[in-house]
Structures are given as C-alpha cells and as structure tokens.
Chains A and B, each alone.
Chain A
C-alpha cells in the first residue's frame, strides 16, 4: 500500500515561487507515475503534471507549461512540484497522487493529504 505525505501549507506573494514535496512509503517508488493535481476552493480537479521517477522525464499540463517543474529523487522516495510566477488564481490545494503503474491513464488510487498554497500579498 502506497502512502504519500506532503509538505505543509504555504503562503506566498504574487510573483514568487512555491515548491511542494511528496514523500512516498510502501510500494516501490519509481515504478508508478506520480501526478500533481490541484483543486481551487469550490472548484474541480485539474491535472498539473506528472513524472514516472525511473524514467525521469516530467510531463506537464498545457496550462502550466513553462511555469511548473516536477522532479523526483528515487533515493529519497520524494517527488517535488515547483510552480513559479504565482498569482491569486494559483491559490488551491495541491495534491500528489500515485498511479497504478507507468501509464498515466491507468487510474490514480493513492493520494497525499494535499498542500494548501495561498497566494496573497
């Protein structure tokens, strides 16, 4: 059973960057896709991007291209998501979520507790 534990809540100023971590336990880290999904208050789910750690190359949602960087440290069993040029529209709960294998389309059964990122001056 994979468990994902994320870093704590963040408050950031407009124009700054935020980096969220996601540490995995259980399972074999690297053998499944790690997705980053955000949910703004009262809104739906939005895929930010993902990475399969053993492959190394991240993939990003079109909306976030150029502004997000997703990385993974296999030895630390930790994935990271950094989002730059923050605006108030980036205020949301950011969750890391583990897939069922290498393919992003195979469903996401494992979810972290979420990290609330608030962008405010």
Chain B
C-alpha cells in the first residue's frame, strides 16, 4: 500500500470554491467506489464529510461534494467559509480489507 497523493495546500477566498485532488492507482482509488474524505481542525479528531465517493453523512453541509474520475478522486468545497479552514484527508479502500490515506491538504481561507 502506498499513500494517496494530495496537494499539500489549497486556498480560496470566502465565498469562492476550491477543489482538492486525491490521486491513487487502479488498485485503490481507481478500483473501488470506496473513497472517503475527512476534515480535521487542529487538535480535533477527523470528521467524515464524504464517503463512498459522493455520499454525505447526515448533518454535513451540501457545500461539500465528492467525485472520481479514473484513479483520481476530488473534493469540492463551494461557498468557502472561515470554518472550512482545516486539514483534509482522503482515504480509499485498497483491497484485501485494507485502507490507505492521503498525505493531507491544508486548506487556507484567505
């Protein structure tokens, strides 16, 4: 298992939209529709915001949306708000009952 590749940083102004990518291989992201995204504020536990590529848990804002094309998954955040500033991690099922995470992306709201 290798870690999924995410950009180390992303940024946008309040009200704008931003997209974070998560690149894997055909043995993880590309092979299964089991990509999740997590938001983590400093000192807090990760919060599940997207699962199974596009699904949002109850209570998660519809400003967050997920998609996938080939070996790359993406998280889109629209209408950026100050509280969206956090670290974002993708994860993917990698076969044989294993998971792999991305390296994380620090989102800054300018």
- List the interface of chain A (C-beta within 8 A of B): 35, 37, 44-47, 50, 59-63, 95, 97, 100, 103-109, 111-114
Q: Evaluate contact between B97 and A59: CB separation under 8 angstroms.
A: yes
Q: Evaluate contact between B45 and A113: CB separation under 8 angstroms.
A: yes
B46 near A: Cβ within 8 Å? yes
Interface size on B, as a range, is 20 to 34
Interface string of B74-110 (1 = CB under 8 A from A): 0000000000000101011100111111111000000
Q: Evaluate contact between B99 and A50: CB separation under 8 angstroms.
A: yes
B21 near A: Cβ within 8 Å? no
Residues of A within 8 A of B99 (CB): 35, 47, 50, 61, 104-105
Residues of A within 8 A of B38 (CB): 45, 108
Q: Evaluate contact between B101 and A45: CB separation under 8 angstroms.
A: yes
Interface string of B10-32 (1 = CB under 8 A from A): 00000000000000000000001
Q: Evaluate contact between A111 and B45: CB separation under 8 angstroms.
A: yes
Q: Evaluate contact between A44 and B92: CB separation under 8 angstroms.
A: no
